[in-house]
Amino acid sequence: MFGPMNAMNVLAKYADDTNLLVPSDSHLDLSTEFDNIKQWAMENRMVVNILKTKEVVFRRPNPRLDVCPVALVGVEQVVSAKLLGIVISQTLRFDIYVNGILKLCSQRIYLLKLLRDKGLPRHLLNTVFDAIVLSKLRYAISVHHGFLSAELKGQINAFLKRSFKYGFCTSVHTIDVIAEEADRSLFAKMAGSQHCLHTLLPDIKPHSCRLRPKGHAYKLSNLLISL
């Protein structure tokens, strides 16, 4: 199976997308790993589309700790890139992504306004709102919710509050509650042995006595216990 040349580097593939992550302290630089990918693709009669290939250098907030590696030849170096629908910036902030999602959701609110003006009852508007608005906010929220600043959460919550005020949904949603529901749903699915993320769960803790219910039966890692 094809993988990175150095164990410190990470190669993630999904369908026809390939993502290479090389830390600053890696013993093998990005250029060498990228050449290896292109060589493997050529040997397997595939082509790496250089025009669609982007390079993002994730930077520390402190400019004194900033690392400026040599850019890949022929590859555009950008400050943000889209990965499976999520826009990730070089500072791991999600301002660009959230602003884009809110802009898209605001456009879809116009459709809901037309439906409301045509007499569609509120409970049916709520169904449409869930399908075309909340679905966009739920997408991959378990991945990026922890990186959202209080300001970004406030913008999303203000949008959701306005949506309720104008009668497009039957309850006031908040981004934290949406994220919590998504996390619970994901955890329940991961508990199934056939789920692709099931192997990431810790071992089940054996015990002979009846304990206070915790919501799960898995062992907590030493890191979580120390926290």
Q: Identify residue 152 by its one-letter amino acid code.
A: L
Which residues in the chain land under pLDDT 70? 1, 65-67, 207-215, 220-227
Beta strands (DSSP E) in the chain are 10-14, 17-21, 54-56, 76-78, 80-83, 86-89
- Tokens read off for 56: 């993002």
User: Residue 125 in contact with residue 167, Cβ under 8 Å?
Assistant: yes
Q: What values do phi and psi take at 118, rounded to 5?
A: -85, 0
Residue 169 CA to residue 122 CA, distance in Å, equals: 7
Q: How many helices (H) does the chain have, and how many strands (E)?
A: 8, 6
User: Can you give the pLDDT at residue 92?
Assistant: 85
pLDDT digits (tens, 9 = 90+) for 90-103: 888 899 999 999 99
> Which residues neighbour 99 within 8 Å (Cβ) at sequence distance 6 or greater?
none
Question: Which phi-psi region, left, alpha or beta, contains residue 51 (left: φ > 0; alpha: ψ -120 to 50)?
Answer: alpha
User: Can you give the pLDDT at residue 110?
Assistant: 95
Q: What is the pTM of this model?
A: 0.79
Judging by beta carbons within 10 Å of its beta carbon (0-12, 13-18, 19+), is residue 47 exposed, middle or buried?
A: exposed
Domain residue spans in the chain?
A: 10-78, 95-183
